[in-house]
Amino acid sequence: MTFVLVSGGAGYIGSHACKALRAAGFTPVTFDNLVTGWQDAVKFGPFERGDLMDRARLDAVFEQYEPVAVMHFAALSQVGESMAEPGRYWSNNVAGSLNLIEAAVAAGCLRFVFSSTCATYGDQDNVVLDEDSAQHPINAYGASKRAIEDILANFDAAHNLQNVIFRYFNVAGADPEAEVGEFHQPETHLVPLMLDAIDGKRDALTVFGTDYDTPDGTCIRDYVHVCDLVDAHVLGLKWLLDGKQSRVFNLGTGTGFSVLEVIEHSSAVTNRPVPHNIGERRPGDCTKLVSGSVRAKKELGWSPRRSDLKTMISDAWRWHQTGHYDT
């Protein structure tokens, strides 16, 4: 078996990555502490419970499986929380990642696929964001991911740790077969919050700010279907297995949708109104984040197939109605 160690493999994106890895002929080994992940989501390979701060546990897992690569998703990822509790983000995301990177190098596992974020760019409105855009994160979440990118560059130079970094924009949707899906507690992502409101599971969605400098006053984001996203990660893994050099790729469609546009599409897909209230802006939220890069398409051959709003919301709605994890 060809093992790939997937940190955060019990989470939303990580669990979908495990399914894609298995479909591509790999055996994903999920390493997760289940703080934000779900054991029920681990369906496609072995599960090893552990914390990234536990170096001995990491060493034991590397020794047992001898993975050909690491795919690193595990992270705290709430922007608002990162503004209020930056220490947790520097400790968990940066120190935890450094521990994982050092363990990988010590084990001779020198291929590393890293889940980064467009939040490393900060608030650069009306700028076409590509991989060479300046990185000026405005919150501790983006800053922590930027720091990990720097660590990877240092370890590439010192130890030949070949890495592919994916900076991605908003992720939505779910496995169309509804084996895995999006399930956070508490939920903070727009599409599942909206579906909860439609379904009567919460009173109403809160739209955080309608006074942004956009056509309808609400934030604009570039949405990518989670299945398209993880397909890119598998392509990134194959890039490294082919002996290619470290590379950064933005993952976005180049098309932005406002919060109110997402609400309209959700209403159309579900044929139900979306109850929503207007709230104040959240600290750390950018006005517009849209990818302008075609590097992943040109160099990896990545072709997003499910990243239109209708498909993303339809897949999320199917999961919302049929899937869940036991808490």
Q: Please identify every residue annotated as catalytic.
A: 141
Please tell me what DSSP assigns to residue 94.
I
- Say how far apart CA 57 and CA 105 lie, in whole Å: 15
- Say how far apart CA 320 and CA 122 lie, in whole Å: 31
Question: Kindly report the CA angle at 236 between 234 and 241, in degrees rounded to 5?
Answer: 95
Q: What is the rounded radius of gyration, in angstroms, for the C-alpha atoms of the chain? A: 19
- Say how far apart CA 199 and CA 234 lie, in whole Å: 34
CA dihedral 224, 226, 232, 233 (to 10 degrees): 130
Structure tokens at 311: 């498909």
Dihedral pair phi/psi, residue 240, rounded to 5°? -70, -40
Cβ-based neighbours of 18, under 8 Å, separated by 6 or more:
6, 9, 28, 30, 42, 43, 44, 45
- Residue 155: CB atoms within 10 A of its CB come to 21
DSSP string, 26-49: -EEEEEE--SS--GGG--SS-EEE
